[in-house]
Amino acid sequence: MSVTFLQTWYQQQCDGFWEHAYGVTIESLDTPGWMMTVDLTDTPLANATMETVRQERSETDWLICAVAHQKFQGQGDPQKLGQILQVFKNWAAASGAGA
C-alpha cells in the first residue's frame, strides 16, 4: 500500500537533521480536496525530475502532481488521496529511491 511506502521513505530520510528542517504534509483543501507536499531537499530525489501528471476530468474529478523547487506536490479531489500517494510511490521507485 502507498501509505506504507510513504512511511518507509520518510523514515529513511530521518537522520537526526532532515526531519527538523523538512518533511511531509498532507492537508485538506477548501476546493474540496487533498494536497500532499514532500520536501525532497537532501534526499535521493532532490534532483530528480518528474513529468507533471494532470487529470482534469471535471470540477469534482481532478488530480495534479508535479515536482518543482525540490518538492513533490500532489493535489486532487476528495477521492484522490490514495492516487496522489501512488503517483509519489511510482515516481520515487522509478527514480531509484524506492523504499
| Domain spans in the chain, listed from the N-terminal domain onward | 2-94
pLDDT band at 90 (very low <50, low <70, confident <90, very high): very high
What pTM was computed for the model? Answer: 0.93
CA-CA-CA-CA torsion sign (99, 23, 81, 67): negative
User: What pLDDT, in 10s, does the model give residues 8-42?
Assistant: 999 999 999 999 999 999 999 999 999 999 999 99
pLDDT score of 98 more than 70: no
The strand order across the sheet containing 53-58 reads 24-29, 33-39, 71-76, 61-68, 53-58
Q: Which residue has the cell 511510482?
A: 90
- Contact between 72 and 82 under an 8 Å Cβ cutoff? The reply is no
